[in-house]
Chains A and B, each alone.
Chain A
Amino acid sequence: MMDDNELISKFQTGDEDAFNVLVRRHEDWVRGFVRSSIGNREDADDTAQNIFVRIYFGLAKFRFEAEFKTWVYRIIINQINNFYRKQKLLSIFRGELTDNLHSVEPGENDGRKSELMRWVAKLPRGQRNVMILRSFQDMSFKQVAATLSISENSAKVSFHKAKNNLKRMINVK
């Protein structure tokens, strides 16, 4: 079985099927990650598809400097942030709060987790990115730092601030 780098090399030389193999190999964890960050299943799948579209157009420039999965994590984080931004803009236009952002389908997600995601969505972008990777993907601070191209200390500080902000938000509620 070919590894990711071999598949990417094949894709870069014009083998489109190599991309399909990559999608099938990574689809499950990407969709799972996006669904854990965006509660709504339809929106999550749409975002996951957008992530693979980004991967398709970005693979031509992939230089094997980072691990494929780390590179994909960055794309996922960007796409999730784009999704939140769009939702925020939509809510401004509609004049309503983004409470429907995580309108989770019954039985789909753990209630506490979806409640937590509702609050995480309201965090500043930098803190939110760290929180998603650290808490929902169980990454070490080192991995979080590598994925977001920040220092390990910045990741720790952002996580600490995010935790404090979440506590404050939940207490105010």
Chain B
Amino acid sequence: MSNNMSDGFLDGIHRKINRKKQQRAMLNTLGTLVVTVIITFQVSNIIHHSKLVELANRIEQNSESFHAYDALFEISDDKAADYLIDEMEIYDLLQIAEEDIQNTDLLKTIIREG
């Protein structure tokens, strides 16, 4: 009788121990999950930030190259051609080239006709 009571008491203890173990396991899982989410969030922030820095650097470089042309006091034909190729739309470039050809033709006609 006493042994049965003792077994019941011991069983009760083990039931409580198992419940507590489950609670602890659940808390650990939850904790790991929260830490993972926080780390993921932080890493994505870092990646996003580094991408922004990269983009800002690229923009800065581009604006520097643009200002480099502006800063030249006298532009050689080669530099001017580079500038036009780099910065202008192809249609504008073709238009200027066409105008140049027309101007040259007009000049040749004037010289020829005297």
Whether A56 and B6, one on each chain, are in contact in the complex, defined by CB atoms closer than 8 angstroms, is no
A57 lies within 8 A of B20 (CB): yes
Q: Contact: A49 with B12, CB < 8 Å?
A: yes
Closest to B19 in A: A53
- Collect the chain A residues with CB atoms within 8 Å of residue B6's CB: 24, 27
Q: Is the CB of A24 within 8 A of B16?
A: no
B13 proximal to A (CB < 8 A): yes
**Which A39-75 residues have a C-beta within 8 angstroms of B?**
45, 48-50, 52-53, 56-57
Pair B17/A56 contact, Cβ less than 8 Å: yes
Residues of B contacting A: mostly: helix
| A-B CB contacts (within 8 Å), total count | 27
| Nearest CB of chain B from residue A16's CB, rounded to whole Å | 9
Q: How many residues of A contact B (CB 8 A)?
A: 13
Contact: A53 with B10, CB < 8 Å? no
Q: How far apart are the CA atoms of A158 and B20 in the complex, in Å?
A: 35
- B9 contacts chain A at the CB level, 8 A cutoff: yes
Separation in Å of the A36 CB from the closest CB of chain B?
17
Could you list 21 A-B pairs, sorted by A, with CB under 8 Å?
Answer: A23-B9, A23-B13, A24-B6, A27-B6, A27-B9, A27-B10, A31-B9, A45-B9, A48-B9, A49-B9, A49-B13, A49-B16, A52-B13, A53-B13, A53-B16, A53-B17, A53-B20, A56-B13, A56-B17, A57-B17, A57-B20
The 4 tightest CB contacts between A and B, nearest first, are A52-B13, A53-B16, A49-B12, A49-B13
